[in-house]
Amino acid sequence: MRRLIGLSLGLLLLASCDRSQGPAEAPTAAAAFRHSMTSDLSGYYRPAGEVRVGKWSLDHVFVGQDREFRGWEAGSRNGTFGPIMLQFEDVNRPMVQTETGEARSISARVLPMAYSVSDTAISFEGRSPELGMVRFDGVLDPGALATARRNLGDEGVVVTGRLTVGDAPVQSIRLRWWGGD
């Protein structure tokens, strides 16, 4: 028994030595998803001007409430909704009719693979089949956001940032806040 315990400890020690010499491990999901908001940033952030990549136009950046971030970070995900996501619309085919007769736009929703959201900054990385890799890094102006929220959707810019879609050039973008319907 002592020999078996000694052998097991030796193998464990050897395995831990080998692991430290190998490549660094990928970050855990918990490290890839972080939020540290002290105020409510929820709403839709819509471009102040057209933001277009090929046939796709950025419609909005959605930011959810604290409970949605906590749920996502705890592993509660459904594949169609995230606490932060980007929505693009196909400008070549703006509307199609569904089976129920409803007219809907052709869109590409980009869910997060990683994000970091605070009271003053938004960083997002995601992928969609239509667009490929999508990155957004923005600086949030808390004062401008507070004004927009008080006015239920002020026309002022509340976020300035940079958007990268696939291999298209980086675009500087400006976003306004809208509370939604």
Query: Which residues share a beta bridge with 76?
Result: none
pLDDT for residue 140: 97
Domain ranges of the chain: 28-178
Which residues, in sequence order, are CB contacts of 32 under 8 Å at separation 6+?
A: 113, 114, 115
Q: What is the pLDDT of residues 22-42, one digit of tens each?
A: 333 334 444 699 999 999 999
Single-letter amino acid code for the residue at 64: G
Handedness of CA 42, 43, 47, 51 (dihedral sign): positive
Q: What is the pLDDT of residue 92?
A: 87
3-class secondary structure, 76? coil
Q: From CA 180, how far away is CA 62, in angstroms rounded?
A: 10
> 58 pairs with which residues across the strands?
88
pLDDT band at 93 (very low <50, low <70, confident <90, very high): confident
